[in-house]
Chain A
Amino acid sequence: MQGSAVDLGAVTGDGKPGAENGVVQGALLVAFAEATVAEDDAALARAREALRAALGPEALVDAAAVTSNFERMVRIADGTGIPLDAPLAAMTVDVRRDLGIDRYAAAANTPPPSRLAATLARWAAPLMPLVLRLAVKRGRPRAR
Chain B
Amino acid sequence: MFAIRYDAAAVPVRSDLPEAHTRAWQRLAAPGTWWTGAERVAIAAETRAAASCALCRERKAALSPGAATGKHTSVSTLSDAAVEAIHRISSDPGRLSKRWFTDLASQGLGDAAYVEIVGVVSTVVSIDAFGRAIGVAPQPLPEPQPGAPSRVRPTSVGDNGAWVVMRGGGMGNVMRALSLVPAEVRNLGELGVVHYFGADRITDLGATGRALDRAQMELLAGRVSALRECFY
Q: Is the CB of B211 within 8 A of A58?
A: yes
Are B89 and A75 neighbours in the complex by a CB distance under 8 Å?
yes
Q: Which of A57, A105, A135, A141 contacts B94 (CB 8 A)?
A: A105
Minimum distance in angstroms from A45 CB to a CB of chain B? 7
The residues of A that contact B36 with a CB separation of less than 8 Å are none
B71 shortest CB reach to chain A, Å = 21
Determine whether the beta carbon of A82 is less than 8 Å from that of B232: yes
B13 contacts A10, CB within 8 Å? no
User: Which A residue sits closest to B178, measured CB to CB?
Assistant: A76
Q: Which of A72, A79, A111 contacts B126 (CB 8 A)?
A: A72
Interface centre among B123, B202, B224 (most CB of A within 10 A): B224
SS class, residues of chain B in contact with chain A: helix
Determine if A119 is an interface residue (Cβ-Cβ < 8 Å): no
| Partner among A22, A64, A65, A80 whose Cβ is within 8 Å of the Cβ of B178 | A80
Across the interface, do B94 and A83 meet the contact criterion of CB distance under 8 Å? Answer: no
Q: Judging by beta carbons under 8 Å apart, are B126 and A10 in contact? A: no
Q: Is B96 an interface residue (CB 8 A)?
A: yes
B129 touches A71 (CB 8 A): yes
Interface of A is mostly: helix
Q: Which of A12, A70, A132 contacts B203 (CB 8 A)?
A: A132
Which one, B90, B94, B214, B216, contacts A29 given CB within 8 A? B216
B212 touches A34 (CB 8 A): no
List chain B residues, Cβ under 8 A from A85: 172-173
Q: Which residues on the B side are within 8 Å of A25 (C-beta)?
A: 216
Q: Distance in Å from the Cβ of B160 to the closest Cβ of chain A? A: 8
Partner of A62, one of B101, B166, B169, B210: B210
Q: Does B7 contact A (CB under 8 A)?
A: no
Q: B67 at interface (Cβ–Cβ under 8 A)?
A: no
The count of residues in chain B whose C-beta lies closer than 8 Å to any C-beta of chain A is 87
* Contact, CB under 8 Å: A141 / B189: yes
- Complex Cα distance, B228 from A78, in Å, reads 10
Q: Counting CB contacts under 8 A, is B148 at the interface?
A: no
Which residues of the partner chain B approach A114 to less than 8 Å between Cβ atoms? Answer: none
- Asked if A26 is at the interface (CB within 8 A of a chain B CB), the reply is yes
Check if A52 sits within 8 Å of B127, measured CB to CB. Answer: no
Taken together as a complex, chains A and B put the C-alpha atoms of A69 and B130 apart, in Å, by 8
Q: How far is the CB of A76 from chain B (nearest CB, A)?
A: 5
**Scoring A residues 18 to 60 as 1 if CB is less than 8 Å from chain B, else 0, what string do you get?**
0001111110011011101111000011001000100111111
A112 at interface by CB-CB < 8 Å: no
Residue of B11, B163, B215 touching A81 (CB-CB under 8 A):
B163
Picked from A59, A61, A80, the residue with its CB within 8 Å of the CB of B164 is A80
On whether the beta carbons of B216 and A23 are closer than 8 Å, the reply is yes
Residue B109 is within 8 A (CB to CB) of chain A in the complex: no
Closest partner residue, chain B, to A63 (CB atom): B220
Say how far A59's CB is from chain B's closest CB, in angstroms.
Answer: 4
Q: Assuming the A-B contacts A57-B11, A65-B196, A79-B93, are A133 and B204 also in contact, with contact meaning beta carbons closer than 8 angstroms in the complex?
A: yes
With A60-B11, A60-B134, A66-B212 known to touch, is A80 a contact of B118 (CB < 8 Å)?
yes
Q: Is the CB of A140 within 8 A of B230?
A: no
Chain B residues within 8 Å of A, Cβ to Cβ:
10-14, 17, 51, 89-90, 93-98, 101, 115, 118-119, 121-123, 125-127, 129-130, 132-135, 154, 156, 161-164, 166, 169-178, 182, 185, 188-189, 191-192, 194-196, 199-200, 202-206, 210-232
Q: Which 5 A-B pairs have the closest CB atoms?
A: A139-B170, A81-B163, A64-B133, A69-B195, A72-B126
